[in-house]
Structure 1
Amino acid sequence: MAVPTYAGPLERIWYYAFRVLCGLIFFFLIAPILIMVPLSFNVEPYFTYTREMLTFNPDGFSLRWYQDLFSSESWMTSIQNSLIIGVASTLIATFLGTLAALGLSRSEMPFKGLVMGLLISPMIVPLIISAAGMFFFYSSVGLANTLPGVILAHAALGTPFVVITVTATLVGFDHSLTRASASLGAGAGRTFFKIQMPLILPGVISGGLFAFITSFDEIVIVLFLAGVEQRTIPREMWSGIREQISPTILAVASILVAFSILLLTTVEVLRRRSERLRGMSPG
């Protein structure tokens, strides 16, 4: 968007200064990633730029740390655990969060504010408190140090994201469509899958992706609840930093950054599609 022709000198100065300020803030946030990714190709086992890397000498770059990642049994096990836990907890969180959002969207729902506050409380309560509470509760029911226990814990953390995104999608939902469906003889199930679900599906998928990212990146709950067999990628990275400093961690982090960018791009595409379906944006 260009500067308006009627803008005065101060407005023009602010126009460019604001964009420069936003660029500096963005650089401040992205600089650690920009530094980390090239280091994952370092041929030396150091966390610093070598002379060859600074002079762009090909001898200073290597894929050895990515090869170490995919040839390591512990890393591959942690990747497998993260995928299993992430997918399973996302499915549970998406199912529960969507049901909760549908209930909260109904006008006759009592105590909406209280229920909503309880549902999103895992986002507000400090994670260390939630982890400690889950540890004592799951220990008493035999779910500590088990894969189902970690999955249920991550599902509890991911459900609020699904509730928020689906609830935001339902804000612009035209409920006259469901009433028209009922008047034509369709049951509640047919109305949901044929009318409601196609319109709120972008919000459901967006919430599920946020829940998956939350599970994939979570470490505090894993430290409390997971055993040796349930080590995830963040847990393995934490152990690697404490026990054995290796640029393999940088290779894993670079892959996770690329994976996160892909997921967030998908979320943004789905958000725009949802707005178009609900008539909230042009085209």
Structure 2
Amino acid sequence: MNGGAPRTWQQRIAWRLTVILSALVLFFLMAPILAILPLSFSSGSYLTYPLPGLSLRWYEEFFTAPRWTSALRNSVIIGIASTVLATVLGSLAAFGLARWRSRLKPIVLAVVLSPMIVPVVITAVGLYFFFAPLGLTASHAGLILAHTALAAPFVVITVSATLQGFDMNLLRAASSLGASPLTAFRRVVLPLILPGVASGALFAFATSFDEVVTVLLLAGPEQRTLPREMFSGIRENISPTITAAAVILTLLSVGLLVAMEGLRRRSERLRGLVPR
């Protein structure tokens, strides 16, 4: 069809089965979210179906109760700070690796990306024993540094992918015109790789905002983040407020996905404008 050869009945059946199977897999993945969403509007004090009534009381508690507002504030502060650090360090690391020609490059890249590969619980235990003598446990600074280490590899990957289509001759041209290395990077490189940098920053923020294992080991009572508060709530006292928090986190994730799709399209447009 559409100018090609007509499909046989076997191909049409296979296509329909593929669509049905894909829809079932999508429904299976979305079912937990679809189940939580109505519970967040329940007027009852327990997580039960059918709903006794509809109410916004749990959203009100989420935005007014000190335990939840404090956890949300900590998550935002730690997430933004670690995102800034991870974006700067990850972008510089990706740019340096892109220009480096050495047999040691794969080894260095593996070390840089190791926080993505090593199980997070091992990384968290290692960070705990490293931070404890330095007095960085039970502190915002320790959590920011820990989340920076976990988030930086995502920035390295996205920026490295963007640099694959970057013509390094542009840097040489800028240098031949008298631009310093910093000016050349700021005026030539950064505008072209900005979609990749922004995508990496979004991944870094999502990684920090959703992280709970290192928070369990490194955080004190004053550094409880939103995932930590939700985890503790599930263990100690299951409250429908957790469903409201889950819905808000889901909406945040959807917003990040939409933003990353917009950045991906902008990156493709820029690649189409700049010759390799």
Measured against the shorter chain, the TM-score band is over 0.9
Looking at structure 1, the residues matched to 103 and 51 of structure 2 have their Cα atoms a distance apart, in angstroms, of 66
In percent, how many aligned pairs have the same letter?
Answer: 54
Per-residue CA deviation, residues 30-83 of structure 1 (Å, 9 max, x unaligned), is: 11101101110001112122255xxxxxxx100011111112011100000000
TM-superposed CA distance for 1:98, in Å, is 0.3
Matched, 1:145 2:138: yes
Q: Distance in 2 between matches of 1:186 and 1:167?
A: 23
Partner of 2:20: 20
Cα deviation, residue 108, structure 1: 2.7
CA distance in 2, matches of 1:9, 1:107: 54
Question: Unpaired segments of 5 or more residues in structure 1?
Answer: 53-59
Superposition CA RMSD, Å: 1.7
- What is the 5 A alignment of 1:2-13? 4-13=4-13
Counterpart of 1:177 (choices 170, 173, 182) is 170
**Offset at 1:175?**
1.6
**Partner residue, 1:66:** 59
**Change beyond 3 A, Cα 1:178–1:74:** same
CA distance in 2 between counterparts of 1:181 and 1:51 reads 65
User: Any idea what SS the aligned residue of 2:166 has?
Assistant: coil
**Is 1:35 aligned with 2:35?**
yes
Could you report, residue by residue, the CA deviation over 1:85-136 in whole angstroms, capped at 9, with x for unpaired residues?
0000000000110000001111535521111100110011011111111111
Is structure 2 residue 41 aligned with structure 1 residue 48?
A: no
* Partner SS state of residue 46, structure 2: coil
**Cα distance in structure 2, aligned partners of 1:51 and 1:201:** 47
Bigger CA drift: 102-111 or 192-201?
Answer: 102-111
Contact residue 123 and residue 157 of structure 1 kept, 8 A = yes
TM-score (norm 2): 0.95
**Contact 1:42 1:49 survives alignment (8 Å):** no
Aligned match of 1:246 in 228, 239, 243?
239
Tell me: CA distance 1:245–1:17, structure 2 relative to 1, closer, same or farther (3 Å): same
State the AA in 1 paired with 2:56. Answer: L
Tell me which of 65, 72, 75 is aligned to 1:82.
75
Gaps of 5+ in 2: none
**Which residue pairs with 2:181 in the alignment?**
188
For the residues of structure 2 that align with 1:51 and 1:199, how far apart are their CA atoms? 51
Q: In 1, distance between residues paired with 2:213 and 2:100?
A: 38
**What is the total number of aligned residue pairs between the two structures?**
274
Counterpart AA for 2:61: D
Partner of 1:55: none
Mapping of residues 142-221 of structure 1, within 5 Å:
142-221=135-214
TM-score (norm 1): 0.93
Match of 1:91 in 2: 84
Evaluate the alpha carbon distance shift between residue 34 and residue 113 of structure 1 in structure 2; reply closer, same or farther with a 3 A threshold.
same
Shift, 1:16, TM fit: 2.0
Separation of aligned partners in 2, 1:96 and 1:134? 18
**Contact 2:42–2:51 (CA under 8 A) maintained in structure 1:** no
Amino acid at match of 2:267: S
Distance 1:142 1:270 in 2: 39
Tell me which residue corresponds to 1:235. 228
Structure 2 counterpart of 1:19, one-letter code = V
- Tell me which stretches of 4 or more aligned residues in structure 1 moved more than 3 Å: 1-5
Contact 1:3 1:15 in 2 (8 A): no
- SS of structure 1 residue aligned to 2:263: helix
Residue type at the aligned position of 2:87: T
Q: Is the 8 A contact 1:202 1:271 kept in 2?
A: yes
Q: 1:111 to 1:20 in 2, by over 3 A?
A: same
Indicate if the aligned counterparts of 2:39 and 2:51 stay in contact, CA closer than 8 A: no
* Alpha-carbon shift at residue 6 of structure 1 (Å): 2.3
Aligned partner of residue 41 in structure 2, secondary structure: coil
> Does structure 1 residue 105 correspond to structure 2 residue 98?
yes
Kept after mapping to 2: 8 A contact 1:103/1:109: no
Which of 119, 124, 128 matches 1:126?
119
